[in-house]
């Protein structure tokens, strides 16, 4: 597997809450956050180990071999350090596409998901 991108940031919710958000992004009791672009599809949860890790399928039909691995770590004050790693078993995309994929994950996780917790 080739690493396309990775990033870690804190989210203002405990790991079990973030884990629930990642494994059930359309759960009706929460604020919506998984806003997809026309070239994206809702990911499937391929693996999940509560409350430490989740693996998503690709969000991009044009890149079906991509996987998004999440690691969740308690970060004090009921926060979570969320790390994503975007991996592929295909060839790495060009730098423009890499930038787009990273930017989308950053937007979804560290803007949309963060705001769904009210901060």
Q: What is the pLDDT of residue 118?
A: 85
Residue 35 token pair: 């806003």
Residue 95 token pair: 């730098």
Domains of the chain, CATH where assigned: 2-26+38-116 (3.30.530.20)
Q: What is the pLDDT of residue 31?
A: 86
CB 21 within 8 A of CB 108: no
What does the pLDDT profile of the chain (119 residues) look like in tens digits? 899 999 999 999 999 999 999 999 988 677 899 999 999 999 999 999 999 999 999 999 999 999 999 999 999 889 999 999 999 999 989 999 999 999 999 999 999 999 999 86
pTM of the model: 0.93
3-state secondary structure the chain: CEEEEEEEEEECCCHHHHHHHHHCCCCCCCCCCCCCCCCCCCCCEEEEECCCEEEEECCCCCCCCEEEEEEEEECCCCCEEEEEEEEECCCCCCHHHHHHHHHHHHHHHHHHHHHHCCC
């Amino acid at each position: 597997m080739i690493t396309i991108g990775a990033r870690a940031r804190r989210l203002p919710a405990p790991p079990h809450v973030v884990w629930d958000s990642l494994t059930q992004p359309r759960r009706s009791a929460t604020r919506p956050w998984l806003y997809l672009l026309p070239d994206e599809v809702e990911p499937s949860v391929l693996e999940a180990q509560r409350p430490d890790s989740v693996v998503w399928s690709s969000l991009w039909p044009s890149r079906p071999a991509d996987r998004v691995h999440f690691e969740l770590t308690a970060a004090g004050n009921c926060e979570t350090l969320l790390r994503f790693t975007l991996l592929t078993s295909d060839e790495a995309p060009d730098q423009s596409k890499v930038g787009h994929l990273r930017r989308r994950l950053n937007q979804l996780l560290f803007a949309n998901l963060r705001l769904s917790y009210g901060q």
